[in-house]
């Protein structure tokens, strides 16, 4: 289903919904940015009853703002991308290919049967003239027919392969978007789940362990409360860039939500993981972010929990241990690195 199928093509009706949406944005004193406009348009049009209901609940509870709207907007984008996945096109393409192959197979069998019968004619020929006549009238026509149909099938397969390559590219782009955090442009929770599965698989195959660093910005709510969510968003993008600069190419970084991030360090020992975590903590503390209109720059601290993957365990167990270490870091004063208790 394309986006044009999701939204009405009737210009008058669409314009009416858009006007209602803009009027509501004005009444609520909300900026007409893509997040608010899309969600309130969905609520006004009732295209998706579930999303419309969630928007209505936030409005009724007077809890609708950029922070609460963003996860819902990501859900909306994900559903649109899922609806755009061309599964029906792929199914039809496969059906057509199978039909072409079946037609070619049946025709080839018929021509082969005719050829087998006509070979008897060739065996009965006595003179070169009779052999040549038999070849021209009964042997070569079926062979030429099979060759022509085979070339035709090859062309159809080549055309289908090009369509499949294009669809594959579109699917890969849609899948990549659904695994990327729209704010920071790093992996989101879904992307992290895939990363973690790959790290566990690689660890088991190569008998190598890895580390999980669970990171949480300290007192980040104060940034949103004091400067607003736009500044808070800029801060999260800034932190994501700093974290990206601190990891290797074969490591992984994701935003789990809010101000919580996770880093997976490939093939490291406990002492190495702690050293990396401490380096990250110091880098975050040492850097600052200039805020437009503010004389004083924003500075941050971060708390980090570290856990080492143990062979045979699942990802949830590893996360649970890293989360406990992060909780300890928070409870013992923040701006520090804590590791899981070593047995």
Active-site annotation, residues: 259
304 exposure class (CB count in 10 Å sphere: 0-12, 13-18, 19+) = buried
Look at the alpha carbons of 236, 241, 246, 251 in this order and tell me if their dihedral is positive or negative: positive
Distance CA 102, CA 44 (A): 50
Distance CA 4, CA 269 (A): 52
Ramachandran region of residue 255, left (φ > 0), alpha (ψ -120 to 50) or beta?
beta
Distance CA 216, CA 327 (A): 10
Grouping H, G, I as helix, E, B as strand and the rest as coil, residue 252 is strand
Q: What are phi and psi of 95, to 5 degrees?
A: -60, -40
Decide the pairing of beta strands 302-308 and 337-339. parallel
């Amino acid at each position: 289903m394309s986006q044009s199928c999701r939204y009405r093509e009737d210009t008058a009706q669409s314009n009416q919904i858009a006007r209602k949406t803009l009027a509501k944005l004005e009444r609520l004193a909300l900026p007409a940015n893509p997040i608010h406009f899309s969600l309130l348009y969905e609520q006004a049009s009732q295209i998706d009853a579930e999303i419309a209901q969630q928007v209505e609940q936030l409005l009724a509870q007077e809890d609708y703002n950029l922070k609460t709207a963003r996860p819902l907007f990501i859900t909306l984008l994900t559903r649109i991308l899922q609806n755009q996945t061309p599964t029906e096109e792929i199914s039809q393409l496969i059906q057509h290919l199978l039909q072409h192959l079946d037609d070619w197979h049946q025709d080839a069998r018929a021509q082969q049967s005719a050829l087998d019968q006509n070979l008897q004619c060739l065996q009965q020929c006595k003179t070169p003239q009779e052999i040549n006549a038999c070849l021209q009238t009964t042997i070569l026509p079926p062979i030429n027919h099979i060759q022509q149909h085979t070339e035709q099938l090859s062309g159809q397969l080549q055309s289908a392969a090009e369509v499949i390559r294009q669809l594959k590219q579109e699917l890969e782009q849609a899948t990549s978007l659904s695994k990327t955090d729209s704010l920071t442009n790093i992996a989101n929770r879904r992307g992290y789940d895939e990363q973690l599965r790959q790290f566990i698989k690689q660890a088991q195959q190569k008998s190598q362990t890895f580390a999980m660093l669970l990171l949480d910005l300290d007192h980040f709510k104060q940034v949103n409360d004091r400067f607003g969510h736009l500044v808070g968003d800029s801060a999260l993008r800034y932190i994501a860039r700093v974290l990206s600069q601190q990891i290797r190419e074969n490591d992984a970084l994701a935003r789990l939500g809010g101000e919580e991030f996770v880093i997976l360090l490939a093939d490291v020992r406990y002492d190495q993981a702690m050293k990396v975590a401490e380096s990250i903590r110091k880098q975050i503390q040492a850097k600052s972010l200039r805020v437009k209109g503010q004389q004083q720059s924003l500075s941050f601290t971060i708390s980090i929990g570290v856990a080492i993957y143990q062979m045979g365990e699942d990802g949830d167990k590893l996360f649970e241990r890293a989360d406990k270490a992060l909780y300890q870091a928070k409870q013992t004063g923040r701006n520090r690195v804590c590791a899981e208790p070593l047995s």
